[in-house]
Amino acid sequence: MNSSGPRWWASTRSTLSWNTVLHPHYGMYVWPCAVVLAQYLWTHREALGGQAVLELGAGVSLPGVVAARCGAKVILSDGAAASLCLENCRRSCEANGLLRAVGVVSLTWGEVSPELLLLPRLDVILGSDVFYEPRDFQDVLLTAAVLLRRNPGAQFWTTYQERSADWSIEALLHRWKLNCVDVPLEAFDADEAELAGSTLPGNHSVIMMIITMETEDAVP
Ligand SMILES: C[S@@+](CC[C@H](N)C(=O)[O-])C[C@H]1O[C@@H](n2cnc3c(N)ncnc32)[C@H](O)[C@@H]1O
């Protein structure tokens, strides 16, 4: 089913569409984190033009689609075993007239695969709700660390939904020599239960982070 999605308003108006597929896989739905990250991208749309952007664990791909609409050169990715999600990435591009402009590749976190090594130069890596399962945290950050090392100056923009106060990525950031800066939601008007016409953010506790190599400064 093709349905109308969030609308970002400013000097320009952008309405997005995506496919709603009835399937229990968590990559087949838009998550609150995706709406918050998309709002961050929209707020920084002028800086995104021409930037090379990769989305990890893209699922329905809302942030990647917004980045592409802002003029970025976007590649979407999801796990090699998640063929339905990869297909969904393509459907989201199609629904938004981006099929030719946006690439889709399989990238499984924690694997240094030919697909990962063959990626072009990147400026921004996106990850919405990729810190969903604590058992995956190490693999997500390994992939991020490999990409940040191969792309000096690149940043990992990621949103995280707090599901347990016990979960932490701090030790892993230290292990991979990564620096993390939290960006307050109010800094990009995302401290609202409803964003761009979407009620998904609701009362969920979502955190926006910028992760870089330890030597570089993240500019929120
Ligand atoms: C909670 S969903 C978030 C989907 C989307 N980013 C969003 O926020 O709407 C997690 C996503 O990560 C993907 N994923 C899970 N394990 C993965 C892995 N090991 N490697 C790559 N992607 C993975 C899932 O297929 C799914 O699309």
Q: How far is the CA of 127 from the centre of ligand 1 (A)?
A: 9
Residues near ligand 1 (Cβ within 6 A): 26-27, 30-31, 33-34, 57-60, 78-79, 82, 85, 108-109, 128-130, 132, 136, 139
pLDDT of residue 27: 75
- pLDDT of amino acid 1: 41
Q: Ligand 1 pocket check: which of 130, 143, 167, 198 to mutate, most ligand atoms within 8 Å of Cβ? A: 130
- What are φ and ψ of residue 117, in 5° steps? -75, -20
Q: What is the pLDDT along the chain (220 residues), one digit of tens a residue?
A: 445 667 765 445 567 776 666 566 777 788 999 999 999 999 999 999 999 999 999 999 999 999 999 999 999 999 999 999 999 999 999 999 999 999 999 999 999 999 999 999 999 999 999 999 999 999 999 999 999 999 999 999 999 999 998 899 999 999 999 999 999 999 999 999 999 888 989 989 999 999 999 975 555 5
Query: From CA 8, how far away is CA 195, in angstroms rounded?
Result: 8
Go through the domains of the chain in sequence order and give each one's CATH number: 32-213 (3.40.50.150)
Are 67 and 74 spatial neighbours (Cβ–Cβ below 8 Å)?
yes
122/165 Cα distance (integer angstroms): 32
Phi, psi torsion values for 95, nearest 5 degrees: -65, -20
Task: Supply the pLDDT for residue 10.
Answer: 44
Dihedral, CA atoms, 16, 18, 24, 27, nearest 10 degrees? -70
pLDDT given for residue 15 in this prediction = 74
CA of 83 to the centre of ligand 1 (A): 12
List, for residues 145-193, the tens digit of each pLDDT value. Answer: 999 999 999 999 999 999 998 899 999 999 999 999 999 999 999 999 9
pLDDT score, position 138: 96
pLDDT at 12: 54
Q: Which two tokens stand for residue 116?
A: 């990962």
pLDDT at 197: 87
Copy the structure tokens of residue 187.
């800094």
The reply to whether the predicted model has a pTM over 0.75 is yes
Nearest CA to ligand 1 atom 11: 57
